[in-house]
Structure 1
Amino acid sequence: MSAAGAVPVSNGVGDKQYVLINVLKAVAAQLIVLHHLAFYGPMADHAWPLAPDLFSWLAGDARIAVQVFLVIGGFLAAKSLSPHGLPGLDHPLRAIGRRYLKLAPPFIVAMLFAVLASYIAGAWMDHDSISAPPSLLQFGAHMVLLQDVLGYEALSAGAWYVAIDFQLYGLMCLLLWLSGRLGQASKWRWVVPALVGVGVTASLFFFNRDSDWDIWAPYFFASYGLGALAWWASDPKRQPVAIMVLLLLIVAPTQLALAVDFRVRIAVAFAVACLLLLLGRERPALLTGHISRLMQLLARTSYSVFLVHFPVCLVVNAAFTRFAPELPHIQFIGMVVGWTSSLIAGAAFYRWVEVPIGHVFAQSPHADEEKITAAKVSGAGQL
């Protein structure tokens, strides 16, 4: 499975957005773009002698940046669906449907761009990164985010992650709904963190160690669940004993799993969860300075950059293969052009596709249901 990622769906990023999350999303998104530029070539193949160690790292280990998005996804899902970690979600299917409408429409538009990009690139070069024209069934599988489950080739690198994010969010919704069936929130206050802890442990010791599961949410639930636990443990109003128990749910299974089978991706996920636990809720009244504004912009447009960067890089690769000499410095310039073009295209896609589509589907009469549900359970007490 190709390594790319994004859970960087816009969450109303503004001047009061969480600072650390902005920085993590912005940096991780750049690493994903650079990873694909280095991994899929052919520009990187020609530029490789200029910095072999750097290109080797980008083509390999840089893909671990996907863990940042997994953990942030769980962190923000807990914030949105169950801010106090209490059981219950009145309409899980409706919440899952809203998540689909947030993820899928921009994704489908981006897949159309990917098909067009493959057509253009195919006229200029012959390379295995170019996808064949999709069948109707293949494109339909992408529309319902089931392309990997149904065994179809992805139309763009990273398409798998949109499907996994949707699965993980849906799994969290179902866990909250199931926990609410067990009894009153005041009597079952620990059931949600306990269920998530069990899910994290199962993922760490079984699912995440078997690559056959990497098209399903349980494979990635360790990272996602650590993010959720980090949100609940970072609540400053929580009782110290409760914080200690939540910390135990984060630290104990992760460290034991790393001792049994060390995986860099899990170590990175654990580190990100710890950062979010300590600093994830920090958000000053107003971010100032050029760097802060840049981080906000890159974080806000990160999902759009994720969706369109591979088609853009594919066309740039094809153009430099067809029309530029195969000299290392020239091809390195091509990589820089691919990177910057991806950011520009992502900003345009955000402005003209993601935001307008989001406004259309935000008009649903149930658009604020998650906030209403959270408000209903918040009076039942905290852990």
Structure 2
Amino acid sequence: MSSRLPPAALVHAPASPAIDLAKVLAAHLILFHHLVQYGPVPDDLGPLLDGPLGWLAEHGRLAVQVFLVIAGYLGAASMLSRVGGPAPAARGGLAQQAGRLVRQRAWRLLPTYWLAAAAMLAVLAWLSAGPLQRPLPTPSIAATLANLLLLQDLLGHDGLSAGFWYVAIDLQLYGGLVLLALGCAALPLAPATRLRAFTLAAAGLAAASLLHWNRDAGLDAWAVYFAGAYGLGMLACLLRRGLGWQPAPAACAVAALAGLALLLDWRSRIAVAGATAVALCLLARLDDALRHGPVRLPAGMLAALPRLSGASYAFFLLHYPLLVLVCETTVAVTDHPGAHVAAVLACWPLSLLAALAVQRWMQPAPAPRARLAGGT
């Protein structure tokens, strides 16, 4: 078998409308789930939630699997040139390389995360100690510090806000990806052989999680619980862009692993993750369909997608403080059901506007390599 690396493997992927669209839709599904399931006035929304809308409201949380799979795909893509470059990485300094990459990732995630934490604390303080005097739970200093350091789940504290757990897990998963990639990059092997080793390691990690760790809910504070979905995304990238497999064989391999996990123990979250990973194996075709095919998007929407996708992380984190502020304020001043429904629905555009503003203010356009490492 040739040891030559497929040239496409070392080229950064172009902008993908399919990935951008998936991130935007997933973020909005999660917001819809939180609005209905965790908002202060869900009873008033009952008539609106019959049929498919009710199903989406209940199961919208599964959209987080889309983020996990895409994060694995883009993270693996960002490591291709390191693992499959013309010369192995130096053995000395791997810890320093890993630390630098993880710090870069943390610096991309944490400012918006800390802003969301500050917003949530401010909302709770205003509602409980301000003129409205709403009886809301106030987190302890220990719980607040644990949240700010991303240790809340490991130390047994509640998250300050919805979605905070994801950021902690994302950093754990990315750290594991970096160590795995740099370890394979240091192997004294031909570039294509190192890529095959990286792919086998990713497949093994995904299989271990899907078949064992992900079946133990007691592990859900640790990356190993989510490594199945993340690893499916890595595998989709490495088979297609790393080893140069054709879309159909790559999709079949990913589907076979996900299908085995579902035969062993059906989990709807793994079904969503598997379907997302299979779609990523067909990414070029999906992008072409969205640009030129029968389901092509209008030019204006295609142009707006990258910005909306870039704001999806801020949207994911900031919508819940806004939800609590708007809905609790409305409940405090009126008991009219129509006002309650209007308050819940108003959170949607308000969250989007806030996310776009934060994305513009706090998240400058990343370099190509950093962008590929993004998860949400």
| TM-score, normalising length: structure 2 | 0.81
Distance change >3 Å, CA 337–CA 200, structure 1 → 2:
same
Cα pair 1:96 1:169 within 8 Å, conserved: yes
Q: CA deviation at 1:60?
A: 2.0
Cα distance in 1 between the residues matched to 2:185 and 2:153: 32
Cα pair 1:176 1:192 within 8 Å, conserved: yes
Matches within 5 A, 1:97-108: 97-108=103-114
- 1:144 pairs, out of 146, 149, 163, with 149
Cα pair 2:187 2:194 within 8 Å, conserved: yes
Matches within 5 A, 1:188-337: 188-235=194-241, 238=244, 244=249, 247=251, 249-279=253-283, 282=287, 289-327=299-337, 329-337=338-346
Distance change >3 Å, CA 57–CA 239, structure 1 → 2:
closer
Residue number in structure 1 paired with 2:181: 176
Q: CA deviation at 1:346?
A: 1.0
Cα distance in 1 between the residues matched to 2:155 and 2:196: 37
Q: Give the partner amino acid of 1:191.
A: A
Percent identity between the two aligned chains: 33
Q: Deviations over 1:148-189 (max 9, x none)?
A: 112222111110000111111101011112223443244444
Cα distance in 2 between the residues matched to 1:229 and 1:84: 16
Cα pair 2:255 2:278 within 8 Å, conserved: no
Cα distance in 2 between the residues matched to 1:202 and 1:190: 18
Residue number in structure 1 paired with 2:46: 48
Q: CA deviation at 1:211?
A: 0.6
Cα pair 1:304 1:354 within 8 Å, conserved: no
| TM-score, normalising length: structure 1 | 0.80
Q: CA deviation at 1:125?
A: 6.6
Cα distance in 2 between the residues matched to 1:258 and 1:334: 40
Cα distance in 2 between the residues matched to 1:106 and 1:354: 8
Q: CA deviation at 1:266?
A: 0.7
Matched, 1:111 2:108: no
Matches within 5 A, 1:329-348: 329-348=338-357
Cα distance in 2 between the residues matched to 1:84 and 1:226: 20
Residue number in structure 1 paired with 2:19: 21
Cα distance in 1 between the residues matched to 2:209 and 2:150: 22
Cα distance in 2 between the residues matched to 1:239 and 1:305: 35
Q: CA deviation at 1:309?
A: 0.7
Cα distance in 1 between the residues matched to 2:112 and 2:302: 26
Q: Deviations over 1:15-35 (max 9, x none)?
A: x62110111011111111111
Q: Give the partner amino acid of 1:104.
A: L
How many residues matched? 341
Q: Give the partner amino acid of 2:301.
A: I
Residue number in structure 1 paired with 2:360: 351
Structure 2 runs not aligned, ≥5 long: 1-13
Cα pair 2:72 2:233 within 8 Å, conserved: yes
Structure 1 runs not aligned, ≥5 long: 1-15, 372-383
Q: Give the partner amino acid of 1:26.
A: V
**Is the helix fraction higher in 1 or 2?**
2
Residue number in structure 2 paired with 1:38: 36
Cα pair 1:305 1:342 within 8 Å, conserved: yes
Secondary structure (helix, strand or coil) at the match of 1:235 reads helix
Cα pair 2:239 2:245 within 8 Å, conserved: no
